[in-house]
Amino acid sequence: MKKVDLSETRAFNPLGMKNFVLHESEFFKIINFNIAAGRIFPVHAHDLDGQVSIHVVEGSGAFLGDNDAVIPAKTGDILVSDIREPHGVRADTDMRILVTIAPPI
């Protein structure tokens, strides 16, 4: 068993994004990304089997997808996407997301 405390990784870089790998195993990887207001986690995809969940734990903005898709995102929203489906995040405020990737990449 291992406990991590999200309050310990609450750090922002006004010029972009900070990320903290909270856990990695053969089963999943958990990363906290903190995105400064006005910044974007660019839309990307990997040609691999698997899924990712993106949980907004603070702030608001949008989930981004293929063909300029924009899905409003607020604290408490969770997006689930295939890893091979394009996905990204736009931060309208300072925004913290918890990303779980299974299997880990």
Distance CA 98, CA 7 (A): 12
Q: Select the residue interacting with its own copies from 12, 35, 63, 88 (CB under 8 A).
A: 63
Nearer to its own copies, 22 or 91 (CB): 22
Distance CA 22, CA 3 (A): 9
The candidate with the shortest Cα–Cα distance to 57, out of 8, 98, 22, 94, is 98
Question: Counting contacts by CB under 8 A, is residue 19 touching its own copies?
Answer: no
The candidate with the shortest Cα–Cα distance to 59, out of 42, 69, 72, is 72
Question: Counting contacts by CB under 8 A, is residue 16 touching its own copies?
Answer: no
Among the residue ranges 12-20, 37-45, 68-76, the one whose residues contact its own copies (CB under 8 A): 68-76
Side by side, the strands of the sheet bearing 87-91 are 40-44, 87-91, 60-65, 70-74
Q: Select the residue interacting with its own copies from 45, 78, 92, 93 (CB under 8 A).
A: 78
Residues that bind its own copies (CB under 8 A): 1-7, 22-23, 25, 27-28, 30, 49-51, 53, 55, 57, 63, 65, 69, 71, 73, 76-81, 85, 87, 98, 100, 102-103
